[in-house]
């Protein structure tokens, strides 16, 4: 079967680059056989699968709230916030939840025209949780629930948080949808300066660990499109939406011939398809 599945990684506002990548692949006529998303990638995957392809409209529907437009996503700012507030999470998620409900309504994951997998993490066990059924808005909310910033989302007896905790780019989930996977990594470049506080050091260590897990996951992808932003773009710097969207399109065009080659039918793809015949 011709086409590819995409594994869309997390990265806050940088996740809008995924919609730029998808726009280029759609324009080139490459069939999308599956979408797996984590965190911001979960939002992009679900938005595209349910026909919301304009990044500005997606942003307007969801982030009409106090956190939108802030430039407070860097580690130093987070360190100050964690010092100032001694509570399980810094922000409530009701307004994001309402925005997601406005965008997706009562749509369910299993009703998607494109096979869709939303990756989250079990906060208590550390398990990777791949959601294929249930309300779209709630699955995306769970996948975007950054620990410490937003509360975990209850789901069938679990407490779910940001999928980036277990795998920043959900390649394994994408492979379960379709055998040929293009991973889209929208990570920032590694920081160039060391920490100034103990908490910053702990946060940087966590980021380093997730970066290593991301690199291990990318080994399983057939092709990787990396955003490689020219400078670090803060998680909540929504003013950078136009920049990251256009950068996503640019990176996709740079790798388009490779994606087209990957999308061609191969004998082993036919063997994979036969697995699902009755």
Count of helices and strands (H, E) across the chain: 11, 8
CA 165, CA 188: separation in Å to the nearest integer?
16
CA 16, CA 55: separation in Å to the nearest integer?
6
162 is catalytic: yes
Q: Provide the b/e sequence for 208-219 (b: ≥16 CB within 10 Å).
A: eebeebbeebbe
In total, the chain counts a number of residues equal to 278
Task: Answer whether 167's CB lies under 8 Å from 134's CB.
Answer: no
Residue 111 exposure: Cα atoms within 13 Å on the Cβ side: 10
3-state helix, strand, coil in the chain (%, to 5): 45, 15, 40
Catalytic, out of 39, 112, 143, 187: 39
Residue 115 exposure: Cα atoms within 13 Å on the Cβ side: 17
Contacts of 40 (CB under 8 A, 6+ apart): 8, 9, 10, 11, 12, 13, 14, 15, 16, 18, 144, 186
Catalytic, out of 112, 143, 162, 164: 162
39 is catalytic: yes
- For β-strands 4-8 and 32-38, DSSP reports them as parallel
Tokens of 186: 């929208």
Residues labelled as active-site residues: 39, 162
């Amino acid at each position: 079967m011709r086409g590819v599945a995409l594994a869309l990684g997390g990265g806050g506002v940088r996740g809008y680059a995924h919609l730029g990548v998808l726009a280029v692949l759609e324009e080139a006529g490459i069939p999308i056989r599956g979408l797996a998303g984590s965190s911001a990638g979960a939002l992009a995957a679900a938005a595209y699968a349910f026909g919301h392809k304009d990044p500005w409209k997606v942003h307007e529907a969801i982030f009409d709230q106090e956190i939108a437009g802030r430039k407070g996503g860097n580690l130093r700012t987070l360190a100050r916030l964690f010092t100032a507030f001694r509570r399980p999470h810094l922000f409530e998620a009701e307004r994001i939840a309402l925005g997601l409900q406005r965008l997706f309504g009562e749509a369910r994951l299993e009703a998607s025209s494109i096979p869709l997998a939303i990756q989250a993490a079990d906060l208590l066990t550390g398990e990777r949780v791949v959601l294929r059924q249930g309300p779209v808005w709630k699955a995306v909310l769970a996948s975007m629930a950054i620990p410490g910033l937003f509360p975990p989302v209850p789901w069938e007896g679990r407490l779910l948080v940001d999928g980036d905790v277990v795998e920043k780019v959900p390649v394994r989930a994408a492979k379960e949808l379709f055998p040929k996977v293009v991973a889209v990594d929208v990570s920032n470049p590694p920081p160039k300066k060391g920490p100034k506080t103990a908490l910053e050091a702990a946060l940087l260590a966590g980021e380093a660990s997730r970066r290593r897990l991301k690199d291990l996951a990318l080994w399983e992808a057939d092709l990787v499109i990396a955003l490689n932003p020219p400078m670090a773009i803060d998680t909540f710097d929504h003013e950078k939406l136009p920049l990251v969207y256009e950068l996503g399109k640019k990176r996709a065009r740079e790798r388009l011939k490779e994606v087209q080659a990957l999308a061609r039918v191969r004998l082993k793809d036919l063997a994979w398809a036969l697995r699902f015949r009755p």
